[in-house]
Structure 1
């Protein structure tokens, strides 16, 4: 099994790279987000997931171990194969994906090519308890977002997030702003105060 490749990028295709490791070029399929961070002729490190089938051997490359973990996690959901998993990771970063699942934001997930409404519902439903462990840098407010996604957040918090969303902010932006507002205002703050402080956060 190949776990990681360190080498020089030899070629970049539509959905793959060739990485030269001491004269041997390995083909690794990547998300468009990963491809955008690579340049021909430059040194690179790719975290590799190896697929071995009867008729083929495929390598999938990622710029971080967390992205590779999400690639595998996504495929644990029925109807999601490697192609759809890469499409999701091309559309959302691991942090954005964790947030979308925590918030039960099916619309954000369904922006990925090949992810229809049914698959989006399965993704946010089946992975909601697993997402926090794979949130990475987005882990800070993931608990609050899960409460919002499951409809169990306190009324002031839910109302404040709803109000900010109605002003045109995404649920993720609104949730982050309200979480920051709560740190300033305290747990018992009413929705009006959370909205006011949340708007200040968003204006920064």
Structure 2
């Protein structure tokens, strides 16, 4: 089984890359994000590979990180999700975006992937809720708990309003939730949304 390829790019197609490894060409099927991150022909490349063997074929799928490969495998454990749909999802969303979408139960984010309808997106976030890889850089336990509350609709109105306000200012949902979690810890449970927004912006400014 091939788990990794290190070589030079020979050719890039619409949905694959041909990697030359010491004179042997390997065709690895990749998502849009992976293909766009690769260089041109003749450039060095390292791909993490998932090998799928079936009766009528052996196919290699390539990823720029081990985390993306893990998501690709995990997605296929969801009912109705095969390699094509899984590749479309990881080709649209980064590993961090996927972790965020699952934690927040954000099926709309998953449905951005081509060929993924609302029902499949709902199954993905629901079935992977307790099995998804841990957040990368998601912050403290308080921040993670807050993200889960927001996704489940159990966060208080001031908290939800503050996160919404920060995302409207252009911050990612994960960033916004982490900032509001820090603000909530500083201001206390009864803090109004305006105070949470102000303290959240300070926390974001400190992080940059």
Same fold per superposition (TM over 0.5):
yes
Aligned residue in 2 for 1:152: 154
TM-score where L is the length of structure 1: 0.87
CA–CA distance in 2 between the matches of 1:45 and 1:139? 29
2:180 aligns to what?
178
Between 192-201 and 167-176, report the one with greater CA deviation: 167-176
Does residue 106 of the first structure (1) align with residue 135 of the second (2)? no
Name the TM-score, length of structure 2 as normaliser. Answer: 0.85
The 5 Å alignment of 1:29-40 reads 29-39=29-39, 40=41
1:58 — aligned with what?
Answer: 59
Alignment check: 8 A CA contact 1:99 1:142 kept:
no
Give the Cα separation in 1 of the matches to 2:98 and 2:139: 11
Which residue does the alignment assign to 2:3? 3
Question: 1-side partners of 2:11 and 2:173: how far apart?
Answer: 39
Residues 27 and 144 of structure 1: CA distance in aligned 2, closer, same or farther (over 3 Å):
same
Deviation at 1:28, TM superposition (A): 0.3
Residue 86 (structure 1) aligned with residue 87 (structure 2): yes
Checking the alignment, whether the CA contact within 8 Å between 1:66 and 1:134 is kept in structure 2 is: no
CA offset at residue 5 of structure 1?
A: 0.9
Structure 1: how far apart are the matches of 2:28 and 2:138?
Answer: 27
Q: CA deviation at 1:130?
A: 1.9
* Structure 1 unpaired stretches of 5+: none
Deviations 1:71-102 (A, max 9, x none): 01111111111111111112110001110111
- How many residues were matched structurally? 202
Unaligned runs of 5+ in 2: none
Q: Aligned residue for 2:144? A: 142
